[in-house]
């Protein structure tokens, strides 16, 4: 395997979180078990086989590798990928791909699908992605991956197998859908992106940005540019129900060591051990 980009991996239950994210540098994530990825700020060679991507917004450090990814899959004779992105971006990305087709003299086959907050995408029988509004300086979206199962309705749980079968044959709907938020990806956003979507706080795994961690960095300015400060997380600490909170997208003005120092000083318990710094 060619290692052209840094990739870190963390396993939580049956999901692996893989990726890298630094503000203004590059951001890319994927969950191989779900066969999906988030953001195309760069494209590790090993990520190419993932066929479905969700782009949170079109700042270059989140989207610039899109043409290379599409072209590589064609070169490797893989199926054209499906890339979901904010609706306002689709027309421009199509134009860019057309121009690159001319420059590279190679086709760029892919399906670009526009998304708006409130959209839902069926990944499979078991998994659905919901799309939420986030707050950034360009159109931006957050994503929650739900696992859905059909469960027997509570009123039928004491019945025997044959009784349930008879009800079903008689046309009664005996099951209902249950959803569990497994994974949430905030993308770049001011804290409203969390507050507007309860599932962000409830997903088993939440990947979010904490671009700024130093006490001296002014929050009003940070919010205006659509980002989160560590203090925003502390103010909301009671709301996080997540099992794992991955903090990422730190500003390049801090070293990894400095980020760890500042976060451990401000949050000594690391949110009950759930806060993981993606460094």
Which stretch, 55-63, 77-85, 164-172, 234-242, contacts Zn ion (CB under 5 A)?
55-63
Q: What burial class does residue 62 get, using C-beta atoms within 10 Å of its C-beta: 0-12 exposed, 13-18 middle, 19+ buried?
A: buried
Nearest to 131 by CA among 95, 169, 86: 86
**Least distance from C-beta 209 to Zn ion, angstroms?**
7
Q: Which is nearer to Zn ion, 59 or 73 (CB)?
A: 59
Q: Which is nearer to Zn ion, 181 or 247 (CB)?
A: 247
Output DSSP code: residue 10. Answer: E
3-state secondary structure (DSSP) of residue 89:
helix
Report helix angle 87-104 to 66-75, nearest 10: 50
**Least distance from C-beta 169 to Zn ion, angstroms?**
54
Binders of Zn ion: how many residues, by CB under 5 A? 2
Which stretch, 56-64, 109-117, 124-132, 153-161, contacts Zn ion (CB under 5 A)?
56-64
Residue 227 in contact with Zn ion, rule: CB under 5 A: no
Q: How far apart are CA 262 and CA 3, in angstroms?
A: 31
Select the residue interacting with Zn ion from 18, 39, 188, 232 (CB under 5 A).
188
**Least distance from C-beta 250 to Zn ion, angstroms?**
11
Q: Which is nearer to Zn ion, 25 or 164 (CB)?
A: 25
Q: How far apart are CA 250 and CA 267, in angstroms?
A: 16
Which stretch, 51-59, 190-198, 215-223, 253-261, contacts Zn ion (CB under 5 A)?
51-59
Contacts of 93 by beta carbon, 8 Å cutoff, 6+ apart: 58, 63, 66, 85, 112
Q: How far apart are CA 7 and CA 241, in angstroms?
A: 27
Select the residue interacting with Zn ion from 30, 59, 73, 229 (CB under 5 A).
59
User: What is the side-by-side strand order in the sheet with 52-54?
Assistant: 8-12, 15-22, 26-31, 36-38, 52-54, 82-86, 111-115
Q: Which is nearer to Zn ion, 37 or 127 (CB)?
A: 37
Q: Which is nearer to Zn ion, 23 or 108 (CB)?
A: 23
**Least distance from C-beta 276 to Zn ion, angstroms?**
19
Output DSSP code: residue 188. Answer: S
Q: Which is nearer to Zn ion, 36 or 208 (CB)?
A: 208
Q: Which is nearer to Zn ion, 21 or 204 (CB)?
A: 21
Residues that bind Zn ion (CB under 5 A): 59, 188
């Amino acid at each position: 395997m060619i290692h052209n980009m840094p990739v870190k991996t963390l396993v939580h239950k049956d999901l692996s979180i893989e990726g890298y994210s630094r503000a203004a540098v590059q951001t890319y994530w994927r969950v191989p078990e779900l066969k999906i990825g988030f953001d195309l700020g760069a494209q590790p060679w090993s990520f190419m086989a993932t066929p479905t991507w969700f782009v949170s917004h079109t700042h270059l450090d989140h989207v610039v590798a899109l043409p290379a990814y599409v072209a590589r899959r064609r070169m490797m004779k893989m199926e054209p990928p499906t890339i979901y992105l904010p609706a306002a971006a689709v027309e421009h990305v199509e134009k860019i791909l057309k121009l690159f087709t001319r420059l590279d003299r190679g086709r760029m086959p892919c399906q670009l699908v526009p998304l708006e907050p409130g959209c839902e995408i069926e990944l499979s029988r078991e998994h659905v992605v919901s799309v939420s509004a986030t707050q950034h300086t360009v159109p931006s979206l957050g994503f929650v991956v739900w696992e859905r199962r059909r469960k027997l309705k509570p009123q039928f749980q004491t019945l025997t197998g044959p009784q349930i079968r008879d009800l079903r044959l008689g046309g009664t709907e005996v099951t209902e859908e249950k959803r569990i938020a497994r994974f949430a990806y905030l993308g770049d956003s001011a804290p409203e992106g969390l507050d507007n979507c309860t599932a962000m706080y409830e997903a088993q795994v939440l990947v979010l940005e904490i671009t700024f961690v130093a006490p001296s960095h002014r929050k009003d300015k940070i919010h205006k540019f659509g980002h989160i400060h560590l203090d925003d997380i502390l103010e909301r600490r009671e709301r996080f129900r997540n099992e794992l909170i991955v903090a990422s997208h730190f500003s390049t003005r801090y070293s990894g060591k400095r980020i760890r120092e500042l976060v451990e000083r401000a949050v000594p318990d690391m949110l009950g051990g759930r806060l993981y710094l993606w460094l």
